[in-house]
Amino acid sequence: MTDVTCVDLFCGAGGLTHGLVLEGIDVVAGIDVDPACKYPFEENNQGARFLKKDVRELRGEDLDALYGKSGIRLLAGCAPCQPFSTYAQRYDIKRDHKWSLLDEFSRLAEESQPDLVTMENVPSLAKNDVFLSFVEKLQRLGYWTNHAIVDCSKYGVPQTRRRLVLLASKHGEFRLIPPTTTEPRTVRQVIGHLPEIPAGGNWTEDPLHTASSLSEINLQRIRASKPGGTWRDWPEHLVAACHRAKTGRTYPSVYGRMEWEKPSPTMTTQCHGYGNGRFGHPSQDRAISLREAAILQSFPETYKFAARHEDVSFSVLARLIGNAVPVELGRAVAKSVKMHLESLEVAPEQAVCDGKSRYTEALVS
C-alpha cells in the first residue's frame, strides 16, 4: 500500500489515531486544546507528536510542515460534538462557539488540500446546516464524498454506539468497508475477566481499574437493580423524588445495570457514575471502572491514560474516554483507506478527480 501520513485534529486521547496506527497508517501529529490528552496520545502512539493548539490558530502551511514529503495525506478529526448531541438539542447551538469548529476543519482542508479526509461525529449532526455546508465545501474542492450513520457494534466495538462517519477523497469513490461482524461483542466477552473490585476500590495492578464510591442510598439502589432494568424496579422508598414526579418518567436510562450478554450502552463523559446512565456493573455493586469503560470503547487493555505516579481523576479520565473515537472504528476507517488506495488503477500521484463530486448518504444497519 502507498504510504499514508495522517494529521489528527481534535485528537483527544488518541482513539482514532490508535486505530489508524494499528493498521499501518503513519499518524505524525495529533492536535487538541486539552493538555490532558498529551500523555495518552504520545505514550500509546509512538512517533506521533501531540500539539496543544487551537485549530483556529492553525494554517495550511502548518499542516504541510507536519506532513512533510509524504505520499498520501489524510486529514482526520472529530470536532467537539456537544452542540450537536441529543442533550444539546434543547439549546440553540448557534450560541455555542464549538459549532464553528467544523468550519475551521473545512478551512484547513482547503488550505492544505490533503488527498483524503475523514470525520466522525454524532448522528444528529448529519442533518445540520453546518455539516451540510462542510460536505458542500469539500465537493467544491473536488472531493468525492460519502457519509453514513454507523452502528459501531458491527465493527467490533462492544457498545451500542451510533456515529456519523464521513469519508472524502480526491481520487474517486471512497466508502467505509462493510460491517466486520454480525455478532456484536458482549460486555462479558470484554470485561468479564477483570478482577472484582468494590465501589470506591481499585486493583493494585492497574490504577485505571478503579470504581467511584457510592453513597449508602446508591448502594441500596444498585443492590435492588437487575441487569437491563431501571429505577422503576426499586422499592418505592429508594426512588428519587425527581423520578416520582411525572417528568421523571421520561428518564428511564439512569441508575441501570449493564447486561452481560449484550453490548454496553453508549459510553459518555459521565460513564464512571452509576446515576448518570446504564453504567452499573452487571453483577458487582458498583459503577463500571475507568478501565472497563475504556475497554468498552475498544481501547486495548494496556492503553495508558495517566502516568503511574499521577492521581486518578475520574472527571478528567472519563472525559477522555467518553469523548474518544472507538479504536475499532478507527481501524475500520484505516481499512477503508487501504481498500480505497488498492482500488486505484493508477498511482495516487497521477490520479485526478474528474470534478464530478458525488454525494451519497447511507445507513449501515
Q: What is the dihedral of CA 180, 184, 189, 190, to 10 degrees?
A: 70
The CATH 3.40.50.150 portion of the chain extends over 4-181+325-364
Q: Quick check: 277 and 293 in contact, CB under 8 A?
A: no
**Active-site residue (options: 37, 81, 152, 271):** 81
> Cα(159)–Cα(161) distance, rounded to whole angstroms?
5
CA–CA distance, 207 with 277 (Å, rounded to integer): 23
Cell of 124: 444528529
What confidence score (pLDDT) does residue 100 get?
Answer: 77
Alpha helices in 99-149 (DSSP H): 101-112, 129-140
* Residues 153-180 pLDDT 10s: 999 999 999 999 999 999 999 999 999 9
What pLDDT score does 85 carry?
Answer: 44
Q: Which sign does the torsion angle of CA 120, 121, 124, 129 carry?
A: negative
242 is known as an active-site residue: no
CATH of 4-181+325-364, one of 3.40.50.2300, 1.10.287.1060, 3.40.190.10, 3.40.50.150: 3.40.50.150
Q: Which three cell numbers stand for residue 57?
A: 490558530
CATH 3.90.120.10 in the chain: give the residue spans.
Answer: 187-323
CATH 3.90.120.10 fits 187-323, yes or no: yes
Per-residue pLDDT tens for 207-233? 999 999 999 999 999 999 999 988 888
Q: 80 near 59, Cβ under 8 Å?
A: no
Answer whether 0.85 is exceeded by the pTM.
yes
Cα separation of 14 and 338, whole Å? 20
DSSP tag of 176 = P
Contact 38, 316 (CB under 8 A): no
pLDDT-flagged residues of the chain (< 50): 83-96, 248, 346-365
**Tens digit of pLDDT for each residue in 56-75?**
999 999 999 999 987 899 99
